[in-house]
A and B are shown apart, each in its own frame.
Chain A
């Protein structure tokens, strides 16, 4: 705030600024820069190969048929999934916010619950439930004589899973927008003679439109860059999205890093466009950051539709969470994999705790669990300090370049996780520091990936602390550091703890960026599941997934108090 031409704190401020810039350049700019550089080079830049030249060949190759199909598939699974998720999420939000539907708290729970089911686990369980003749659901359909057979390993399967598990975003966006719309506005419209339908269309809808557009574009972005679902449900039957193409280019022998980099840039460009459109739509009206008293609105009477409405929510919760959990239990408790018919599903003679016991006692699983917790915990610890300093400098100083810091910090939003993982790999493999092959590189990846969320969470809690509170402390004789320590820090502690907790949950859930970065010693739990899946150990996949889900649910329950603010 002060800190001008000849104040004593100026050099210290500039030094801090330099350190923050360096950190963000290493975390964000270096990986992205490496990717761009690689995409323009004729060979792998880190392999010691000589005679490399700059070329646009890899970008020309993007126009070939394969990639066009991958782009098409990416658009289908993300736009289609977004339409489904919007339909389900918005209906539930409207039911919860505006109607007299029964069991509101259950509707709330159903609205946000899928956020804490790992997409990896969801994809794996749905391939158990609905692929081929031996899918559990297909066995049951067969048994009761229904002529339906699910085929989850298809474009529509991927779209369906996306739609099913991204509902929390539209739910949260629309719910908070609906509760923040001042009921006076609707009542005023009613007083002036509007009917319910007219008011919904003329008043309520325009008011929540930014939230709807924002939610739609956000989930399109998330689905477009999603890796685990298309990898598990698409790749085995040859369906590729852009992220699958990147992964394939990196894992075939010999790998094609330059082409992978070019595809990465293409995917990033697609995401950038979407993020830009989303920003434009939401500019200045991000409803999530508003917290108001939940305005008490007279609920709309559903009459005879009350219980059918609740039935819809219950059905959704059962399909999205109930069924997969039952499938995991089934998969984990079976003693042999072969299932003759539906009756075998319920035959106690075929059940055993063998696989579950093996999974719990397996050193790989234990090591994975430990690695997940350490990486998540370290990310939370380092992240809290880093995000606080960053958010403080951006919001409370007049140092030059602080806006640039914010832009850098928000950049990872537009960089898909898989792409970021690749960029981080190439950045650190070449560094003289012994980071690659340790958990540290995972911590670096998590810090980069969750930088936007973490920064924004801490930043908004700093913004809620009035400038005057710190000014008053300094007028009262405190130094800037003293004022931060005694006034600002205690007041933002809640927000910082919440964001730290979010880091742990997101870290434990993360798979995509870790894929290029783990080594045998640094497998995290999600990687352990993925490897078991790749190797076809179904019972193991189900057992570990069960443990993993219990861990995530436990973490969520522990942190519910703090996480609420983040939702």
Chain B
């Protein structure tokens, strides 16, 4: 760890240097010819199936120049297939894919640019570091393919190794690297060719938690500094929220919601999206009062909650994030403020998580709620009866999916 931390600091110094001296790609000026001209990646009506199962089912995506789009979804939702279609590793059945001004795939136009001519960079989940080559040879490979002169090649490889914090690792055999180092080699290898677009296929999922946090920050810094248009695939909502300019949530081959991280996190469109974004209290509900102050009743919990949402038609669910709930001791709590729902139950689990306490509270009717409490106070004990205060603004009412 200490080794990679040093490497990281070295690379931060270089980062500013690199931002001045080594501009991977000149940012284009804003052109006036409409919205699509700024889109570095444009996908329309993308479809791909394997036999009878449809992997990607009519996906439309646009990524503005220099931004990072995260495709978020559970495994098998089609996010990786979408990315592999952009790279040219899979051939879709229908749709259009354009990178910059160039259409690389069009079913109608019978265009299919070969993968090796698309000039995109890609970081694989398995890193795909070639084990029979040194770090230098791995990183230099894309330059060898395009016939870059030797001196120029050496300069660029050395520079990029410095940027990712692998200075002096060039002669090392690629199979002798740690997971984090392989990750950096993979990153260097996709940056060295100065691609117009960078693709990340769950690049951090094989790393341990601490290294993952650390590299995530570095990745975001590199991406914003160089302003490389990126598509990033992950199933980790924390990673998605931290990295993205925009998130596209995918389910069953379709993009079900798009938005910037903040608005997406605050307003998931359906209960299953909410579930994926960390709303751990999701309960079936029915509308009790659809007036100016709508109220919903939780099925089987003998409990009615105030909300600010105008409930949608059809079956609904109530979704509440555990960090929006305040856990109180019963003694001296007073009566709740207006617009505050109050529930009562027994603590069945209390875990100290460091920054906060995680509680599970069972209500008299049997439903179990999750709530976080502050870490500075003395936590509530197992079996203690507590009050849960849920502000009406935190009660999200969404279509049940």
Contact = CB atoms under 8 A, between A and B. Distances in A.
Interface stretch (B57-65, B71-79, B120-128, B353-361): B120-128
A478 B190 CA distance: 13
Contacts of A7: 91, 112, 114
Looking at B87, B110, B115, B131, the one whose CB has the most chain A CB atoms below 10 A away is B115
Nearest to B84: A471
B262 to A, nearest CB: 33
Contact of A490 (B110, B119, B132, B190): B132
Contacts of A474: 88-89, 115-116
A487 interface: yes
Nearest to B131: A491
Interface stretch (B138-146, B315-323, B372-380): B138-146
A473 interface: yes
B128 A4 contact: no
A551 interface: no
Contact of A477 (B91, B125, B131, B193): B193
Contacts of A6: 110, 112
A2 B91 contact: yes
A475 B115 contact: yes
Interface residues of B, number: 32
Given A477-B193, A478-B145, A8 B114 contact: yes
A491 B193 CA distance: 24
B145 A476 contact: yes
Contacts of B265: none
Given A466-B128, A476-B193, A471 B116 contact: no
A477 B130 contact: no
Contact of A473 (B125, B141, B190): B141
A33 interface: no
B89 A475 contact: yes
Interface in A478-518: 478-479, 482, 486-487, 490-491
Nearest to A8: B114
Looking at A3, A7, A475, A490, the one whose CB has the most chain B CB atoms below 10 A away is A475
B178 to A, nearest CB: 18
A468 B145 CA distance: 18
B67 interface: no
A475 B141 contact: no
A7 B88 CA distance: 11
B130 A469 contact: yes
Contacts of A473: 130, 141
Contacts of B193: 476-477
Contacts of A479: 114, 116
A1 interface: yes
A150 to B, nearest CB: 55
A472 interface: yes
Contacts of B130: 469, 472-473, 487, 491
B258 interface: no
A468 B142 contact: no
Given A468-B124, A473-B141, A2 B131 contact: no
A471 B89 CA distance: 7
B221 interface: no
A9 B116 CA distance: 13
A22 to B, nearest CB: 27
B116 A478 contact: yes
A5 B88 CA distance: 14
Nearest to A3: B91
Looking at A472, A473, A478, the one whose CB has the most chain B CB atoms below 10 A away is A472
Nearest to A487: B130
B260 interface: no
Nearest to A469: B128
Contacts of A8: 114
B33 to A, nearest CB: 30
B126 A2 contact: no
A472 B188 CA distance: 13
A475 B87 contact: yes
B189 A476 contact: yes
Interface in B235-250: none
Contacts of B89: 1-2, 471, 474-475
Nearest to B147: A477
Nearest to B91: A4
Contacts of B114: 2, 7-9, 479
Top 6 A-B pairs ranked by shortest CB distance?
A477-B145, A4-B91, A468-B128, A472-B128, A476-B142, A468-B124
Interface of A: 1-9, 466, 468-469, 471-479, 482, 486-487, 490-491
Interface of B: 87-91, 110, 112, 114-122, 124-128, 130-132, 141-142, 145-146, 186, 189-190, 193
7 contacts: A2-B115, A471-B128, A476-B116, A476-B142, A476-B193, A478-B145, A487-B130
